[in-house]
Structure formats: structure tokens, C-alpha cells
């Protein structure tokens, strides 16, 4: 298994594809890739439909998988502005690739039998697939889809993101081999001589103590540990240091515990969600997620320092967990809210991975929502970086 990645910023998409293909071909030891992931910035939007044909001029048989993006990642660079094309190629001996596109009407009901999902994806759980998922944010309900995938393929690692860069429905593109889709979802199943592990860094740290949502309905929390949520936030604010207080207005989130029944919670145990607002009369909190009554929650804060620390913690834990199994390459699905706008410098997350895990090719894009697991559940995230790390079995 061998990977190579590059970014080209030429204003001509034709020239960018030609130069990227040459760089990838050279990086793969003058071999044609089996898989080619391609992420193209919205500066090239007028020529989106031409991309598969341009790629075919360079590589006859590579399987094409990718989408449009507001910013792209490859060759050790994260390019967030202007014309950019990220191409990552992989030579995958003994690996079988199966891609599928589904429109919303073709997605099975979440709780239907697993065989219905297997038929829809032309795949079986016995094949032990690794799954990459890219979706259009305007036409597709990704969270429901991911819950169904988890039910049908519970042991399959899953990673991906929502296409970005489009301002309105119909503006996104999803690339699946020679097909171009404007809506729905595309999946790529890798089976055979391949393992995919994931790293999820949500960029937040817990503050205060875990609490029970003692009175909640759907996404409205009326009581935390029997108290008004507004009072709980006020008390936490008063106990916080000045630096944390400055973050409360724009960077306070709520984490939902993903290990029911645990007696102790650690970083990585929570699914972080936005606080949508507070009811001015009752002090109840609206959350961007359904909160089961009596579930455990904890407030979280986010800033550049916290995000960097959380990423390093997650990467170091992954390196320790995968000790002795060197990766060949990786894909990074990072939020449009990260990058230079958060850290004040480019290439932060890519550099951290290459420093703390392995100096291997990393490709990807800045997403409108990131797909990766928290504990055993695959979730749609925001403000997150998800790495899919590949190695031979």
C-alpha cells in the first residue's frame, strides 16, 4: 500500500489536474493509483462537471471519489482561499472498492432490517468494510443516515463530511468514479487488505461538573440537576477564571455523554453540540440535539488553545493505541471554522498529525459538517477534525 498527496492552486482546472496527476504519479513510484480522492474549491465551480473527464485523461482506471469544498487539504498544505485542487492517490493491493450514490428517496428507513441497508449499498456486514461518506448539505439528512449505517454495519469504521463551498441547493457536487451528483450521498466501501482507524478531535474542553438533564423534552432542557439551566450557567460563570469567562458569550457548548451508566467521564466521552438559545422567561436551554431526560451532560468551552490541546491529546492517544502499525496515508475532514481562522496560522491540523502520528501523505477538505465516531456511535459534528487513517491489515 502506498499513498501520495498534492495541492495545486493554478487558476486553470485543466492545468491543475495535469500537475496534480504528475505529482501523485511520481509520489506513487510511477504507478497508477487504484483510488483517487479529489476535492476542488468553489473557485473552480464553473468547471466542476469537467473534472472526471480531466482526471480520465491522466489515469484510466483509478476510482474517483470526492466533492466540492470551500478549502482543500493535501501535500502538507491547507488551502482555504482561491482556486485549489487537492488530489490524493493510493495504490491498494488486495483492496476492493465499492461506491454507491443514494438520493434521499433511496435511503432505507433507519430501523429497517440490516439486509435492506446491505441491498441498498450492495454490501454486506460480513465483508467488514471501512466506509467513507460524503453528502450534500442541502438535500440530505446525514444524521439519520449515519444512525441507519451504524445499525446495519455496527463494526464498520466510518468517516467523511458534508460538501462545502456552495451557497444554495444544487450548487454542490459529489464525484463517484465517472458520475457527478448534485444531491444525496455517496459512499465508498473499502474491503480486503485494508484497515481504517479514526481520530476525532472536537476542539472543546469540559468545564464544571457533569450534570443530569433532570427535565428535558426533545432539544429543550428545563432542568439540570433539578435547577434552572440559567442558574447553572451563572454559577459556573462565577466560579470560572477570567479567561474562561470571556469565552462564555460565543464559545459555550453542551456535551452529551456517550457512555451511559459510566461513573467517571473523560475527554472524548461527550458529543459536543451548539447551544441554540435560552428561553428568557424560564431560563431553559435549546440545544442543537435531542437530549434524553436524565441523561448526563456537561458544559464545554472552545478556543484556539483548547482546540490545539484536544487535537494533540486525540492524536497521541491514537498513536499509542495503534503502536506498531504504521499508517500508509490519511484523509482529513476538518470544519470550515478551524484552519487559519481559528489558529492564526495555516496547516495546523495537518502538521500536528504528521508530527504526532506519522509523516505520511494527508489529503482532505474543509467540510460543512464532519463525520466520525464518538464512542461507538457515528455522528455529524461541527468545529471538528476527523482523520481517517489507512494501513494494511
Per-residue confidence at 210, pLDDT binned at 50, 70, 90?
Answer: very high
Lowest-pLDDT range, 81-90, 175-184, 320-329?
A: 320-329
3-state helix, strand, coil split of the chain in percent (to 5) is 25, 35, 40
What are the grid coordinates assigned to 218, written together? 426533545
Q: In what order do the strands lie in the sheet with 174-176?
A: 2-8, 85-91, 35-41, 63-69, 174-176, 179-181
User: What kind and span of H or E run contains 229?
Assistant: helix 229-239
Length of the chain: 393
Give the residue, 147 or 260, on which the prediction is more confident. 147
What is residue 59's predicted lDDT score, i.e. its pLDDT? 96
- Specify the 3-state DSSP secondary structure of 208: coil
What is residue 221's predicted lDDT score, i.e. its pLDDT? 97
What is residue 260's predicted lDDT score, i.e. its pLDDT? 75
Q: How do 362-367 and 329-335 pair as beta strands?
A: parallel
- Count other C-beta atoms under 10 Å from residue 92's C-beta: 23
What is residue 284's predicted lDDT score, i.e. its pLDDT? 95
- Specify the 3-state DSSP secondary structure of 54: helix
Judged against a pLDDT cut of 90, whether residue 135 lies above it is answered with yes
Cα(266)–Cα(89) distance, rounded to whole angstroms?
36
Mean pLDDT of 104-126: 94
Judged against a pLDDT cut of 80, whether residue 261 lies above it is answered with no
Mean pLDDT of 262-270: 82
What is residue 339's predicted lDDT score, i.e. its pLDDT? 94
Give residues with Cβ within 8 angstroms of 38, minimum separation 6. Answer: 51, 55, 64, 65, 66, 85, 86, 87, 175
Per-residue confidence at 14, pLDDT binned at 50, 70, 90?
Answer: very high
- Count other C-beta atoms under 10 Å from residue 31's C-beta: 14
User: Are 79 and 41 in contact, with CB atoms under 8 Å apart?
Assistant: yes
Q: Is 208 exposed, middle or buried (0-12, 13-18, 19+ CB in 10 A)?
A: middle
User: What kind and span of H or E run contains 40?
Assistant: strand 35-41
Judged against a pLDDT cut of 90, whether residue 266 lies above it is answered with no
Judged against a pLDDT cut of 80, whether residue 275 lies above it is answered with yes
User: Are 69 and 41 in contact, with CB atoms under 8 Å apart?
Assistant: yes
| DSSP string across 314-334 | HHHHHHHHTTT---SEEEEEE
What is residue 391's predicted lDDT score, i.e. its pLDDT? 97
What is residue 322's predicted lDDT score, i.e. its pLDDT? 86
Per-residue confidence at 263, pLDDT binned at 50, 70, 90?
Answer: confident
What is residue 267's predicted lDDT score, i.e. its pLDDT? 74
Lowest-pLDDT range, 59-63, 91-95, 266-270, 332-336?
A: 266-270
pLDDT in tens, 286-322: 999 999 999 999 999 999 999 999 999 999 999 998 8
CA nearest to 328, candidates 194, 134, 188 = 194
Mean pLDDT of 172-176: 98
Mean pLDDT, rounded, of the chain: 95
User: Are 139 and 173 in contact, with CB atoms under 8 Å apart?
Assistant: no
Mean pLDDT of 105-127: 94
Amino acid at each position: 500500500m502506498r499513498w501520495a498527496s498534492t495541492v495545486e492552486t493554478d487558476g486553470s482546472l485543466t492545468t491543475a489536474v495535469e500537475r496534480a496527476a504528475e505529482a501523485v504519479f511520481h509520489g506513487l513510484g510511477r504507478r497508477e493509483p487504484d483510488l483517487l480522492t479529489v476535492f476542488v474549491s468553489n473557485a473552480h465551480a464553473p468547471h466542476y462537471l469537467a473534472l472526471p473527464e480531466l482526471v480520465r485523461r491522466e489515469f484510466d482506471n483509478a476510482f474517483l471519489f470526492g466533492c466540492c469544498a470551500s478549502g482543500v487539504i493535501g501535500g502538507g498544505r491547507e488551502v482555504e482561499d482561491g482556486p485549489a485542487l487537492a488530489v490524493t492517490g493510493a495504490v491498494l493491493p488486495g483492496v476492493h472498492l465499492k461506491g454507491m450514490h443514494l438520493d434521499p428517496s433511496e435511503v432505507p428507513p433507519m430501523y429497517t432490517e440490516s439486509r435492506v441497508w446491505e441491498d441498498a449499498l450492495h454490501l454486506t456486514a460480513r465483508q467488514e468494510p471501512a466506509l467513507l461518506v460524503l453528502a450534500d448539505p442541502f438535500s440530505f439528512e446525514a444524521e439519520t443516515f449515519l444512525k441507519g449505517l451504524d445499525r446495519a454495519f455496527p463494526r464498520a469504521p466510518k468517516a467523511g463530511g458534508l460538501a462545502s463551498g456552495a451557497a444554495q441547493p444544487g450548487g454542490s457536487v459529489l464525484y463517484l468514479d465517472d458520475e457527478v451528483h448534485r444531491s444525496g450521498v455517496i459512499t465508498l466501501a473499502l474491503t480486503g487488505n485494508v484497515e481504517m482507524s479514526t481520530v476525532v478531535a472536537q476542539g472543546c474542553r469540559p468545564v464544571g461538573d457533569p450534570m443530569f438533564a433532570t427535565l428535558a423534552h426533545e432539544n429543550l432542557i428545563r432542568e439540570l440537576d433539578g435547577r434552572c439551566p440559567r442558574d447553572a450557567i451563572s454559577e459556573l460563570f462565577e466560579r470560572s477564571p477570567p479567561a474562561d469567562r470571556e469565552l462564555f458569550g460565543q464559545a459555550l457548548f453542551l456535551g452529551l455523554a456517550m457512555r451511559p451508566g459510566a461513573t467517571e467521564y473523560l475527554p472524548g466521552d461527550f458529543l459536543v453540540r451548539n447551544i441554540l438559545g435560552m428561553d428568557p422567561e424560564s431560563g431553559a436551554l435549546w440545544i442543537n440535539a435531542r437530549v434524553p431526560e436524565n441523561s448526563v451532560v456537561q458544559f464545554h468551552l472552545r478556543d484556539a488553545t483548547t482546540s490545539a490541546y484536544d487535537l494533540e491529546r486525540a492524536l497521541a492517544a491514537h498513536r499509542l493505541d495503534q503502536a506498531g502499525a504504521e499508517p500508509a496515508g490519511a484523509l482529513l475532514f476538518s470544519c470550515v471554522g478551524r484552519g487559519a481562522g481559528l489558529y492564526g496560522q495555516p496547516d495546523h491540523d495537518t502538521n500536528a498529525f504528521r508530527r504526532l502520528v506519522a509523516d505520511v501523505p494527508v489529503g482532505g477538505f474543509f467540510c460543512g459538517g464532519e463525520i466520525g465516531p464518538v464512542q461507538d456511535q457515528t455522528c455529524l459534528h461541527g468545529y471538528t477534525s476527523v482523520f481517517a487513517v489507512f494501513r494494511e491489515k
